[in-house]
Amino acid sequence: LVQSNYYDNFSYFYGYGFGNNDGNNNGQSYEEQSAGSGIIVEQTDTELLVVTNNHVVEGADSLSIQFVDGESVEGSVKGTDTKADVAVVAIKLSDIKESTLKTIKATLGNSDEVTVGEGVIAIGNALGYGQSVTSGIISAKDREVTFDNNNTMKLLQTDAAINGGNSGGALINAKGEVIGI
């Protein structure tokens, strides 16, 4: 849900009608779609579990997950950690076609074993246009970053291009193992 500060550009330019044209400066709100990426980390007897960034799913009324084969299914947020900006999304196995299940898999690696200068690949949904791939190197390890809520994390730094929609996507090493999100 996005909140605007004025009714429309015409009203704003001519200095009247702020808010909803009744003198109220509350603005208007409207729904907006967002996009992100995720990594399948586990399959239980009933669910497929996907890790993504919390900011990708935070405040969402509904979630639609699209797999690389174009199949889309509904999912639900299973849990979140706002401090680490991580979320887990659950998808019912009964909602996923068997052919789709056969095409998906992620192998987790160990980010502690990464070396500076090592080649990496970022896979995601850049700008919401579908699957994209960029490459780069690990520029630094244990890079300490402090966010606006005084949350400090140690992160991998890469020069692989990351765009909006890539959030939650896989950062993989040359072995094809997921070493970061």
Which residues are identified as catalytic? 55, 85, 167
- Let me know the angle formed at the C-alpha of 81 by 124 and 105, rounded to the nearest 5 degrees: 35
Q: Report the distance separating Cα 17 and Cα 30, nearest Å.
A: 18
H or E element at residue 78: strand 72-81
State the burial class of residue 168 (Cβ atoms within 10 Å of its Cβ: 0-12, 13-18, 19+).
buried
